[in-house]
Amino acid sequence: MKQKKKKQKMKNNSIFSSENEMAKLILLIIIVAVAFGLFYAITLLVVKKEKTNKTEPTTEATIQYKKILVSNILNQKDEEYYVLAYKNKDQYVEAYQNYLKYYELSKEDAYPYYYVELDNSLNKNYTSENSNLNTEKTEELKFSQTTLLRIKSGKIISIYEGKDRIKGKLERMTK
């Protein structure tokens, strides 16, 4: 009889123990769920507040049409135009560009102009120690220094190489 009571006591003890463990598990799940819910709510509030506070100005993307590649020098849509092919190390490039901008603004009948950055990796094949500009084939063009070209009907009609010749031409164009 003592054994039966002992077994029943142990059985009752294990039931209480199982119920106690089950209660602890449910309590733990509830605590984790509440903590997750709080973090989620806080995150929503912070994100919503950041979205309403951010007022970044929107800028439209603009396509730049003035810079072209050497391979396109003779293929522009204009009948007649100028092309300034320059190397970045040329200290007078900014002055040349300012002359061209002034020319465009000051003359009603100004021809359009384009820039070619010879240091661009896509233009590297067109640079050389000696210039070759007296050609009708774009593939044969070679530039040794900053050069101003006047192009008409897809052909180079005037070449101005070097600081003095380019500056002289640009000054005459702006008068």
pLDDT digits (tens, 9 = 90+) for 81-136: 999 999 999 999 999 999 999 999 998 899 999 999 999 999 999 999 999 998 88
Which ranges of the chain would DSSP assign to H, the alpha helix?
Answer: 2-53, 93-106, 163-173
Give whole-number Cα distances, 108 to 6, 46, 151, in Å.
113, 56, 19
User: Looking at residues 17-33, what average pLDDT do you find?
Assistant: 85
The pLDDT assigned to 53 comes to: 63
Q: How many Å apart are CA 136 and CA 149, to the nearest integer?
A: 13
- Residue closest to 85 by CA, chosen among 159, 9, 24: 159
- Percent above pLDDT 70 for the chain: 81
The pLDDT assigned to 6 comes to: 56
- The residue ranges of every structural domain in the chain are 1-58, 67-173
Mention the CATH class of domain 67-173.
Answer: alpha beta
Provide the 10 A C-beta neighbour count for residue 166: 23
CB 92 within 8 A of CB 146: yes
